[in-house]
A = this chain, B = another copy of it.
Amino acid sequence: MSRTDVTHDPAARCWVPGAQAHPDFPVQNLPLGIFSPPGGEARGGVAIGDHILDLAAVAPLLEGQAATAAALGRQGTLNALLSAGSEALRALRHGLFALLTDPAREAAAQAALHRASDCTLHLPVAVSEYTDFYSGIHHAVNVGKLFRPDAPLLPNYKFVPIGYHGRASSVRVSGGDVLRPRGQVKAPDADMPMFGPCRRLDYEMEMAVWIGSGNAPGQPIPIGGASGHVAGLSILNDWSARDIQAWEYQPLGPFLAKNFHTSVSPWIVTMDALAPFRTAQPPRPEGDPAPLPYLLDEADQAAGAFGVTMEVHILTAAMRAAGLPPHRLSRGSMTAMYWTIAQLVAHHSSNGCNLRTGDLLGTGTLSGEMAESRGSLLELSEGGRQPIALPGGEQRTFLEDGDELIMTAFAQAPGFARIGFGECRGRIAPAP
């Protein structure tokens, strides 16, 4: 992977109608997902412009490792393909790129192409386990300030990539309803908690990291090789019930406040597609400790961060009725991560814990330093004290029934085609 890789050539021309300079899915992206065409079964595909290319259907048009990898698209999840490893994913990328940029092969591949608007998108991976990190330092500071104004960050934050285990069964693909959960909540002035619908429902803007190949139990992944275990990234919305969380989380961390629903965008943007957008890990503020040796790697420090921009929009029921467009709540960047993805992987396995294909790691909420880059309503509304004004005269502290959240993300850099992640959507439905 480098700037000389042909699949990153911004001048490459793709024969798929509408794919040229597509804001999300030009031929330089080629993200992987699971779709079903009208009347068909779920299968692996690649997004190209406003179309989806059926992987298994084009396998006969590819050769060698690319053909073998594409044939794994026959399955209803991407797990087998991701477990094939980064070399197989790279071969597939190159094979697909050659196919889609060669006008002479259009006729042969045409039948494998489906209009995306005709298809249903599914959860791309059978999620084996879900771990959520807390690597967004500005988020940690913003949330910490609500509890400890003078010392928002705990002493371990700059040494330990803080994370906790989440729930895999409730990870769902973008789209559809997000049921407002019920749970125990206790008002500050109440003697007793009560059980009822969450009243401080929030989102969290994160990125999803998909593990391609895992490690054997007891054999940690060294920081230098950690990136090679990652297949790609998606957008992640870690829906959160703040009132349930406040009452339940001591002493063992978040549980029911987080495990009712977690949304991921349907397309996995591969590490190879993101290669041009890797940047140096931002220097730590003066006085911050260096990472301990097991988390320190020169190449990772030089290119372990990702220049990915993330946006959150809201569309309320009233806005929808009035024909208003979604309103942007925030715009942030993955460079807000205090730890690189490689550091998260190395830390997770440093005690011998075995990661597996299909594991999902959340980065944690990625808020930036500025108010307009805060990745949750908890932060934007300062703990619910400062309502946010919306177009049409509404305001919000937390989410109301009918509110739809739309997260997007993209990467761009001079000399390269912009690539995007598509959308991660969800609309709040009343508690059942």
Query: Chain A residues in contact with chain B, CB under 8 A?
Result: 128-129, 134, 154, 156, 159-160, 162-170, 172, 179, 181-184, 186, 192-195, 214, 217-220, 241, 244, 247-256, 259-261, 289, 292-294, 347-348, 350-356, 359, 432
Given A154-B250, A170-B217, A251-B154, are A351 and B182 neighbors across the interface (CB < 8 Å)? yes
Closest residue on chain B to residue A128 by CB atoms? B169
Which residues of B sit under 8 angstroms from A183, Cβ to Cβ?
A: 350-351
Among B218, B260, B293, B359, contact of A351 (Cβ-Cβ < 8 Å): B260
A252 to B256, alpha carbons, bound, how many Å?
Answer: 13
Among B184, B241, B255, contact of A292 (Cβ-Cβ < 8 Å): B184
Shortest distance between the CB of A143 and any CB in chain B (Å): 9
Given A195-B294, A251-B154, are A164 and B165 neighbors across the interface (CB < 8 Å)? yes
A170 touches B252 (CB 8 A): no
A253 touches B251 (CB 8 A): yes
Which residues of B sit under 8 angstroms from A353, Cβ to Cβ?
A: 167, 169-170, 256, 259-260
A350 touches B165 (CB 8 A): no
Which residues of B sit under 8 angstroms from A241, Cβ to Cβ?
A: 351
Given A165-B167, A166-B165, A218-B432, are A244 and B192 neighbors across the interface (CB < 8 Å)? no
A250 to B134, alpha carbons, bound, how many Å?
Answer: 11
A165 touches B165 (CB 8 A): yes
A279 to B279, alpha carbons, bound, how many Å?
Answer: 62
Q: A128-B168, A154-B250 are in contact. List 17 more A-B contacts (CB 8 A).
A: A154-B251, A156-B186, A163-B252, A164-B252, A164-B254, A169-B355, A169-B359, A170-B352, A170-B354, A179-B352, A181-B351, A183-B350, A217-B261, A241-B351, A259-B351, A259-B353, A261-B352
Which residues of B sit under 8 angstroms from A350, Cβ to Cβ?
A: 182-183, 195, 256
Given A184-B159, A432-B218, are A192 and B252 neighbors across the interface (CB < 8 Å)? no
Which residues of B sit under 8 angstroms from A184, Cβ to Cβ?
A: 159-160, 292
A164 to B252, alpha carbons, bound, how many Å?
Answer: 6
Which residues of B sit under 8 angstroms from A193, Cβ to Cβ?
A: 156, 159-160, 292
Which residues of B sit under 8 angstroms from A217, Cβ to Cβ?
A: 169-170, 172, 261
Given A192-B289, A252-B254, A292-B194, are A260 and B162 neighbors across the interface (CB < 8 Å)? no
Which residues of B sit under 8 angstroms from A182, Cβ to Cβ?
A: 220, 350-352
26 A-B residue pairings within 8 Å (CB atoms): A128-B169, A129-B169, A154-B250, A156-B193, A156-B248, A159-B192, A160-B184, A160-B193, A160-B247, A163-B252, A164-B164, A164-B165, A164-B252, A164-B255, A165-B167, A167-B353, A169-B356, A192-B289, A193-B292, A195-B294, A249-B253, A251-B253, A253-B254, A256-B350, A256-B351, A256-B353
